[in-house]
Amino acid sequence: MSFWRRTRALRWWIIGIVMLGTVVNYLTRSTLAVAAPVFMPDLGIDEHQYSWITAAFQAGVMLQPVVGYVLDTIGLRTGLAIFASCWGVLTMAHGLAFNWQMLFGLRGALGFAEGTSHTGGLKVVSEWFPARERGLAGGIYNLGASAGSALAAPLVAWSIWMWNWRAAFVIAGALALFWVLLWLRFYRPPAEHPEIGEEERAHILAGQEERLQAGGARPSILSILRRRNFWGIAIPRFLADPTWGTLTFWLPLYLVKVRHFDLAEIALSAFLPFVAADLGCLFGPAVVLWLQRRGVDLIDARRWTFTLGAVLMTGMLFVGTVESAWAAVALLSLGGFAHQTLSVTVITMASDLFRRDELGTVAGMAGTCANASILIFSLLMGSLVASIGYNPFFIALGLLDLVAAALLWALVRKPA
């Protein structure tokens, strides 16, 4: 009997592979921000042009409904392997860029390919885990988002010290191609996986809500748009995700331009908000489970956890006013922790409200709303930061999640 059949732990190995994919996904997308203080003067790029480069990425990610529909149609294993291969090749191509227009095009294509990360992760969680374990499983794979962003700072700084900023993109892209091999080697759905034991398969199937089982028909986008629960997830994500976009794309520039950090200090500090975010990925599901054990139903437990994260996010109000640069980093780290606490909660909530064969489409459409807000916020920063500074944007980030929490309570209805 194989190790996995004896331990009934294959599903946790599977989610670990997904987490590694998320690490690589966010490492490749975060390489740009860490390298920006070096390549921007090298290529003659200003903040306004840089905001268009980041906006191109978000525009590509906004096509998540397309990639979600592809994953629902051709299957998760094949689809994610194709798109992840594109992550690698496109990231490596960044190292060949010689102007901002070329980076603009590459970022748009990369954004489209990388839109599969959360969509694919959510589908794995829904297929491989019973309802009670989905929050923890979602938190584990979401660890990869902040872990990948955290790894970008020291890896890119090391690549620049050893070679140059172009090498950083080549190394990050090569890691994506390695992960594709790992994914193809180990991933199968539960019904087809040769290493799963009957006891574990029964455990997974017993925890699948009958009302959420695949209905056989392809998901209807119009029917999803007409549902109150979709907007109850999508609008809070629209309001919450500018925080993640700011940390991912603007943090190194803020630390260099305003706090006067050098490359070594960036390597020692820019990863800290993402380490804190990793803790938030675990804290959110832990709070949900704690509330459930005390009699709070699953949907309300997720809403209370989101609200707690929104309250913690108010620390961002003071980032621009503290004198100490390291105090600002600490507040930004609190923001990363708070964001992932609420983000993993609302993302996972989709698996409690929609059928299995709708999840890829729902996740893609909600992700489009989230990435539209990052795009808008990033363009506003690029246009205004030179004249009004960063502080008004930090104040906005500290308040938006409170509005998102109120809407989550008002719009989401518990399924019958």
Count how many domains the chain has. Answer: 1
CA distance 198 to 284: 31
φ and ψ at residue 2, rounded to 5 degrees? -70, 160
CA distance 308 to 409: 13
- Higher-confidence residue of 379 and 204: namely 379
Strands (E), 358-404: none
Instruction: Please give the pLDDT value at position 1.
Output: 45
Residue 236 placed within a domain: no
Question: What angle is formed at CA 174 by the lines to CA 153 and CA 12, rounded to 5 degrees?
Answer: 80
* Cβ atoms 262, 398 nearer than 8 A: no
Place of tokens 């109850």: 232
* Cβ atoms 360, 119 nearer than 8 A: yes
pLDDT reading at 182 higher than 70: yes
Residue 217 placed within a domain: no
Instruction: Please give the pLDDT value at position 2.
Output: 55
pLDDT digits (tens, 9 = 90+) for 249-266: 999 999 999 999 998 899
Residue 2 placed within a domain: no
CA distance 182 to 87: 15
Instruction: Please give the pLDDT value at position 293.
Output: 93
**134 CB contacts (<8 Å, ≥6 apart)?**
125, 126, 348, 351, 352
* Cβ atoms 187, 79 nearer than 8 A: no
Residue 211 placed within a domain: no
Residue 317 placed within a domain: yes
Residue 160 placed within a domain: yes
- 85 backbone φψ class: left, alpha, beta (φ>0; ψ -120 to 50): alpha
HEC string of 297-324?
Answer: CHHHHHHHHHHHHHHHHHHHHHCCCCCC
Supply the mean pLDDT for the chain.
89
The CATH number of whichever domain residue 65 belongs to comes to 1.20.1250.20
CA distance 148 to 142: 10
Question: What angle is formed at CA 83 by the lines to CA 79 and CA 84, rounded to 5 degrees?
Answer: 115
Give the distance, in angstroms, between the CA of residue 209 and the centroid of all CA atoms in the same chain. 26
* Cβ atoms 173, 109 nearer than 8 A: no
Residue 210 placed within a domain: no
Find the mean pLDDT for residues 236-251: 94
CA distance 250 to 257: 10
Residue 20 placed within a domain: yes
Which domain, by its residues, includes 43? Answer: 9-203+243-411
CA distance 172 to 24: 8
* Cβ atoms 416, 299 nearer than 8 A: no
**What pTM does this model have?**
0.82
Question: Of 56-70, 273-287, 392-406, which range is least confident?
Answer: 56-70
First to last CA, the chain: 41
pLDDT digits (tens, 9 = 90+) for 72-81: 888 889 999 9
CA-closest candidate to residue 315, choices 304, 325, 326, 330: 330
pLDDT digits (tens, 9 = 90+) for 138-181: 878 878 887 898 899 999 999 999 999 999 999 999 999 999 99
* Cβ atoms 11, 129 nearer than 8 A: yes
Find the mean pLDDT for residues 103-131: 89
CA distance 213 to 168: 43
